[in-house]
Amino acid sequence: MCRNIRTLFPFDPPTTTEEIRAAALQYVRKISGFAKPSKANEEVFVTAIAQISEASARLIRSLESKGPAKNREVEAAKAKLRFAARRA
């Protein structure tokens, strides 16, 4: 999996449309191999991002979690600690 794509569920506050779009963009970049598509591929690139964003938003809205929602700041702090431990 692309390291830049982050888990988007379950968080409080809920995932924003911008976060979903950013994950979709990273996914399309990863599978297409293009950071920025050529003019010939731009329309299909943008369409793919929109379709993946819509599907991801539907998925996230439909998911249920029995556990408590995660706090973004706490999860970011844990990630920093894991990164520091790997570097040590």
Q: What is the pLDDT of residues 72-84, one digit of tens each?
A: 889 889 989 999 9
Structure pTM?
0.81
Q: Is the distance from CB of 64 to CB of 19 less than 8 angstroms?
A: no
* pLDDT tens-digit series, residues 18-27: 999 999 999 9
For residue 33, pLDDT over 70 is answered with yes
* pLDDT tens-digit series, residues 35-73: 999 999 999 999 999 999 999 999 999 999 998 999 988
In the structure, what pLDDT confidence band is assigned to residue 15 with cuts at 50, 70 and 90? Answer: very high
Burial class (CB in 10 A: 0-12, 13-18, 19+), 62: exposed
Q: Is the distance from CB of 57 to CB of 14 less than 8 angstroms?
A: no
